[in-house]
């Protein structure tokens, strides 16, 4: 169980345990973040994603020769801005000197008086650098939170609006119905009517809806030794859609995104050194006692171009 009460990693709350492999069953894949078109930089917390303009409905002109002598009245094309904002992602890493010095010792028992007992000739522990381990886990947590936020962010006063939250023009409410081809077709037609481009289309779904998509579109040839299907692409009248499993998608929703227009946005802090990802800085904090203190910090958001480029199915059955 992770200790969220003390605010530091110590020998009392971080065990040195033997293990040939270091495993976690928390999601560490970031399918949405890994498929963005690129990274953009903003110099302010709020940034413009696009400026949209529209045309009147197409019609056949009926201009006579006589009418053409006088210039036609000009149309003033207005633009509508779509904006989003970065938000702060921050994690602290505090490791006591005692914990840092115990990395090569294997904990074997709890002692009621002293807290922990160790072997005199210890086996190699799974972790030999506690500070590096805690820092890497803090970085993973930021990536997890960023993946979730880019998809589901609330978009309130100082919070990023996620792409799923933003989709209001092209969205189909299933009203607890099971996923069906009719629902998919309805959404794609809504997106087409809204002017979606379908340049690099990707479908994101959690485990249940990912399996539902395979069942919906699978065609399994008869074979004596091989069975099953895993639909990785869906051919439609509106492009070939990659199908992706994302554990951070809500159980009852499916996102249809055009990843050609999605970017991660960062607002850099001048004069600070960033980690290789270019998203987060790692900085030592002031000394206070027998512990190393660091924090990871980034101001990050998502630019999805326009919500009209994407669509969602919501309220799908989950059982």
The tens digit of pLDDT for each residue in 24-35 reads 788 889 999 999
Q: What is the DSSP string of 57-81?
A: PP------HHHHTSPPPPP----EE
Low-confidence stretches of the chain (pLDDT < 50) are: 119-122
pLDDT at 117: 53
Query: Is residue 265 within 8 Å of residue 86, measured between CB atoms?
Result: yes
What is the Cα–Cα distance from 252 to 205, expressed in whole angstroms? 9
Question: How many residues are given for the chain?
Answer: 319
Locate 77 and state its tokens.
Answer: 């094309």
pLDDT at 114: 55
- Non-local (6+) Cβ contacts of 243 within 8 A are 202, 203, 205, 210, 213, 214, 231, 232, 233, 234
Listed by start position, the domains of the chain span: 33-50+80-93+128-221+228-314
Residue 196: CB atoms within 10 A of its CB come to: 23
pLDDT at 51: 92
pLDDT digits (tens, 9 = 90+) for 127-177: 778 899 999 999 999 999 999 999 999 999 899 999 999 999 999 999 999
Provide the whole-model pTM. Answer: 0.87
pLDDT at 49: 96
Q: Give the residues across from 9 on adjacent strands.
A: 95
């Amino acid at each position: 169980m992770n200790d969220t009460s003390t605010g530091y990693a110590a020998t009392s709350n971080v065990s040195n345990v033997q293990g040939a492999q270091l495993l976690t069953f928390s999601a560490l894949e970031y399918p949405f973040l890994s498929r963005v078109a690129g990274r953009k930089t903003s110099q302010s917390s709020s940034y413009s994603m696009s400026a949209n303009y529209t045309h009147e409905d197409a019609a056949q002109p009926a201009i006579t020769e006589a009418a053409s002598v006088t210039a036609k009245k000009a149309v003033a094309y207005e633009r509508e801005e779509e904006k989003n904002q970065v938000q702060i992602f921050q994690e602290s890493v505090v490791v006591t000197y005692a914990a840092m010095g115990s990395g090569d010792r294997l904990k074997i028992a709890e002692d009621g008086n002293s807290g922990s007992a160790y072997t005199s000739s210890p086996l190699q522990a799974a972790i030999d650098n506690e500070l590096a381990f805690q820092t890497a886990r803090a970085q993973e947590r930021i990536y997890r939170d960023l993946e979730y936020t880019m998809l589901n962010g609330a978009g309130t006063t100082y919070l990023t609006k996620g792409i799923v939250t933003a989709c209001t023009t092209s969205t189909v409410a299933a009203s607890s119905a099971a996923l069906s081809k009719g629902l998919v077709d309805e959404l794609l037609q809504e997106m087409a009517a809204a002017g979606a481009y379908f340049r690099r289309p990707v479908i994101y779904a959690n485990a249940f809806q990912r399996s539902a998509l395979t069942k919906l579109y699978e065609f399994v040839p008869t074979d004596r030794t091989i069975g099953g299907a895993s639909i990785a692409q869906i051919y439609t009248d509106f492009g070939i859609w990659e199908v992706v499993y994302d554990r951070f998608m809500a159980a009852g929703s499916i996102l249809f995104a055009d990843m050609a227009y999605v970017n991660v946005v960062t607002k850099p802090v001048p004069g600070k050194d960033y980690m290789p990802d270019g998203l987060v800085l790692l900085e030592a904090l002031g000394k206070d006692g027998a512990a190393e203190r660091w924090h990871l910090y980034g101001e990050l958001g998502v630019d999805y171009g326009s919500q009209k480029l994407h669509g969602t199915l919501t309220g799908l059955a989950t059982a």
